[in-house]
Structure 1
Amino acid sequence: MEAFELKRKSLYSWAAVQDTYYSTKDTFERHKVVFTIGTSISSVATAWLGYSIRHYHESKVDRRLESIEKAYYSPYLKT
């Protein structure tokens, strides 16, 4: 009796996995255009964000280097 129940539960579980797979596949196929546009927009947004962060970091580094340069040369300019 136990083996039969175990086999039945495994078959139900496998059927549930297959149903989930086909349902997900169907959803993706029906909304292919939406997903394509969405991923394109998110890709552009990610690239823009990365560029903005890099630009901000570079400007901070440049300001810091300028302040170090000023501090280094200021004693020589006073004399």
Structure 2
Amino acid sequence: MNRWRGSGASLVRAMAAPNLKRKASNTFSAVQDTFLSTKDIYERHKVVFTMATSVGSILTAWAGYSLRQIHQAKIDKRLGSIEKAFFDSIL
């Protein structure tokens, strides 16, 4: 009985190595195919991606500037109310 268990384990190991090698090869091929197709799509649409990136950058800068202006207006309003309260308490 032990003789069959020992030979079964080596049989599983012998079958696992080619499967592992095949799976690794398939994985590498899939990654390589994905990379090449992504690269091809980028090369064919380079102008579109460049323009979209530029527009996105401009919109991000505009949004940041707008948020800064809104924040500054809130600070100025709060500072004005603090000054008013201070001067009203003095008089």
Is the shorter-chain TM-score for this pair beyond 0.5, marking a shared fold?
Answer: yes
Percent of aligned positions that are identical? 57
Count, aligned residues: 77
CA distance in 1, matches of 2:29, 2:89: 80
Secondary structure at the counterpart of residue 54 of structure 1: helix
Partner of residue 69, structure 2: 55
Which of 3, 16, 20 lines up with 2:34 in the alignment? 20
Which of 24, 35, 41 lines up with 1:10 in the alignment? 24
Structure 2 residue 70 is the aligned partner of structure 1 residue 69: no
- The runs of 5 or more residues in structure 1 that have no matched partner are none
CA distance in 1, matches of 2:20, 2:85: 78
CA distance in 1, matches of 2:18, 2:79: 75
CA distance in 1, matches of 2:32, 2:16: 24
Superposition RMSD on alpha carbons, in Å?
Answer: 0.8
Deviation of 1:75 (Å): 2.9
> What TM-score, normalized to structure 1?
0.93
- The runs of 5 or more residues in structure 2 that have no matched partner are 1-14
Higher RCO (Cα < 8 Å, 6 or more apart):
1
| Structure 1 segments of 4+ aligned residues over 3 angstroms from their partners | none
Greater Rg over alpha carbons, structure: 2
Deviation of 1:2 (Å): 1.6
After superposing the two structures, state which structure 1 stretch, 1-10 or 32-41, moved more. 1-10
Partner of residue 30, structure 1: 44
